[in-house]
Amino acid sequence: MLNSASELEFSDENNAREISQFASVEVSGDAVSTVRSSTGVPEKTGYPDSVYVLAANIFQGIRIEKSSDKILIKYGNEPLPSLPESEDETLQRLAYELAFSTLKYQDILETMLIDSYIFPSTKIPDHLSSLIIVMLYDFQDRKFQTRVLPDNEESILEVQEVENLLNSFKTKLAAALARCRIKHDALSIYHILPEIVRKQELRASTLPLYAWINTCKISPEEVFINLKKKGYNEVKSVWHIDDKVFAVDQHCYDVLIFPSHLKKDLINIDLFKDHKLIFQDKSRSLAVHSVKSLINLDDDVLMVNTGSWYTVAHMSILTSNNTSKIFVCGINSQDKNPDLNNLFTKMGCKNIEILPETFTDIDSKDQRLQKVKVILLLPRCSDLGVSNPIEFILNEHEDTDLLKDLSQGGTSEDKLQVLAQQQYELLAHAMKFVKAQAVVYCTCSVYPEENEAVVKKALEFQNQGTKIQPYRLSPPVLPLCSLKEIHLSKDKFFRMEQSETTNGCFLSILTRERDPSETVSVKDVLARAAAKGLLDGIELGKSSKREKKRRKSKTSLPKASVNDNNGIQVKIAEFLNREAKASTSTSEALMTKTLLPQKPAAQVGASSQIRKPSKPPTNPLAPTLTKNTCHCRPCERHTNFTRPRPEDKMIALKPIEIVLPPVMLPFPSPQGIRSQVPTQHFYYRWVRPKTGVPGYLPTPSVFRKVEKPKENLPSSQLRRPRPWL
């Protein structure tokens, strides 16, 4: 047992050296290990005074409040005054990282302050408690080494007082830390953290950087050229690559991926300074690209609770070539960024209109939103799918309560139910907008209570009594790039699991069902196309009786009445006489053409009408035949023949339907035709027409058949029955 003060101090110094040896690797707020140099001097030399003050104010708002019987240290409610330079984005990121790290080790740090007798032996104002615990975390992270201050840095009185206090208790603080480590049997205080928190920090250290291209200011090709000039090479995947590389995202064509270690180098190049490349979580890009796939050129979009102005800007950039307008509600631009309009102007956004009302206060029939077809909901949620909360908060302007949940490795059941109810109310209100046709719902939560359960509840309890069509769940409009994504999206929800390469994401698309009164069947579409003459020459299969009658009424010629039979017969006789005279002078020219045989005059005279052969088929393999008293067979050579008509008179003839006999081909035919036609050949020669035969009218010409059947053919083919005659 150590009795003297010198022995106690010697023991404390040994403990401090022991901690320095065992804790050579510590996890800082940004989840990147602090590595010692070869000389033993730590690389981290501390933060500027303004960062400590800003981190203390952040911690004051996110610290874990304990019950009255477990309170060890009292924290005040008054924030510390900060310097104007603390508004710098780099300093804000450092402050958030320091505050988040302090939050994760709050219990251990409070125990060190009590165990070292800083509390309650010293009289410290309550409003400085947050500053003390924040600076204590950095003090132990530097292995209790003195902070190195730049010569030109402006100091803050409260920071100097707290730093002097911690330096005076350095030995006792190191001993308290050693006892805490031994109690938990941990190599360092990092191993005291819950396993889920340690895994999350490991993912955050490897999570790639996602940035979308502002195509209003630069094209993707120009970005690639610019990056290659600065030494970046394009690859297919950036995972586990330490070089200066980038890749194009598979889901969003305008999103680039960079390794995480290039962040400091990238933020200093002109592409990011000039808002040509914008860092943002991939889940937000997935949401706006889903909306882009659902809208037409003149459709408006309503964005709700977007959090980040960059999400609004991305939606505006994607619709810059449209006449669409982007309405935004759920953010207070005056409180968060007074230069918001200036930011949009620099980025080239011209179609954004910010609504002053909250979303639930907007009437679903608001006249301003009559052209809104898609509503994008990005509700506040637990966001436990986020691996790097600092970047997410800074880029998305999310509530800092996210840090409190992530530091504990989960969200309480009560808070989860409150969030789920808020999300349901937003989604239910979005489904009431009359003109909207789709709702995109996107979260970064890993809890089904905030994802599938909210969507299914909204679909189940949507108002069915209105005249508008109800919503239904639709499949994702984003490309599914792997079997895993296909499996995760089998129930029409798009999911991305939290991993070392991406944050978690849930996305659902609800679309209105089509009005049955506006549904058009395939038959109706084809009928309309046929009526407009768009399907001429295309067979549509079996037609209905009504369509057949309609087609027949359009193509049929007017019939001759019974009272006009005598006049028609006279005209027919005159017509045939003229054709007989014309055929005598042209019989030699017609020797190579196929003549269509006509009815005998006796049959023509007995009939009240003459039958006109239908239009010759376009297929040259099929001959044109008519009924004749002589059993004619196909000729050896087939050519279409059109009988000349007098130009002075046109006689209306009645068309008939005929069935053509099998075709006899004198030349080799395709295999499919050869099996269906008889294999007998004939040839014909022309003779002069007979005249003066009683009972017959003169005909243009007659032909004499000479039959040459092939040998070894069955006789049944010579006298084939003709059921078509």
Distance CA(704)–CA(152), nearest Å, equals: 123
Distance CA(444)–CA(496), nearest Å, equals: 9
Judge whether 286 and 251 are in contact, CB under 8 Å.
Answer: yes
Q: What is the side-by-side order of every strand in the sheet holding 209-213? A: 233-234, 245-248, 255-258, 209-213, 277-279
C-alpha R_g of the chain? 45
Sign of CA dihedral 133, 134, 140, 144: negative
Q: What DSSP designation does 512 have?
A: E
Main-chain phi, psi angles of 210, to 5 degrees = -115, 135
Distance CA(200)–CA(1), nearest Å, equals: 42
Distance CA(309)–CA(271), nearest Å, equals: 18
Write down the residue that tokens 């989840």 correspond to.
Answer: 31
Is there a catalytic annotation at residue 630? Answer: no
Q: In this structure, which amino acid lies at residue 390?
A: I
Distance CA(497)–CA(446), nearest Å, equals: 8
Give me the residues paired with residue 27 across strands.
Answer: 33
Q: What is the rounded (10 degree) CA torsion for 85, 91, 93, 96?
A: -80
Q: Which of 381, 444, 505, 632 is catalytic?
A: 444
Is cis: bond before 389, omega within 30 of 0? no
Judge whether 128 and 162 are in contact, CB under 8 Å.
Answer: yes
Distance CA(201)–CA(207), nearest Å, equals: 10
- Counting Cα atoms < 13 Å in the Cβ hemisphere of 150 gives 6
List the beta strands (DSSP E) in 337-449: 352-354, 372-377, 438-443
Burial of 261-296, coded b for 16+ CB within 10 Å and e otherwise, reads bbeeebbeeebeeebbbbbbbbbbbbbbbbbbebbe
Strand-pair category, 702-707 with 245-248: unpaired
Neighbouring residues of 252: CB distance < 8 A, sequence distance ≥ 6: 212, 282, 285, 286, 289
Strand-pair category, 438-443 with 372-377: parallel
Distance CA(567)–CA(247), nearest Å, equals: 89
- Counting Cα atoms < 13 Å in the Cβ hemisphere of 695 gives 5
Q: In residues, how long is the chain?
A: 725
Q: In this structure, which amino acid lies at residue 188?
A: S
Three-class SS of 563-614 = HHHHHHHHHHHHHHHHHHHHHHHCCCCCCCCCCCCCCCHHHHHHCCCCEECC
Judge whether 37 and 43 are in contact, CB under 8 Å.
Answer: yes
In three-state secondary structure terms, 636 is: coil
Judge whether 318 and 285 are in contact, CB under 8 Å.
Answer: no
Distance CA(580)–CA(586), nearest Å, equals: 10
Judge whether 502 and 281 are in contact, CB under 8 Å.
Answer: no
Distance CA(90)–CA(420), nearest Å, equals: 34
Strand-pair category, 300-304 with 372-377: parallel
Judge whether 448 and 493 are in contact, CB under 8 Å.
Answer: no
Give me the residues paired with residue 612 across strands.
Answer: 655
List the beta strands (DSSP E) in 158-286: 209-213, 233-234, 245-248, 255-258, 277-279
CA-to-CA dists, residue 284 to 36, 89, 309, 312, angstroms: 38, 21, 11, 10
Residues acting as catalytic residues: 444
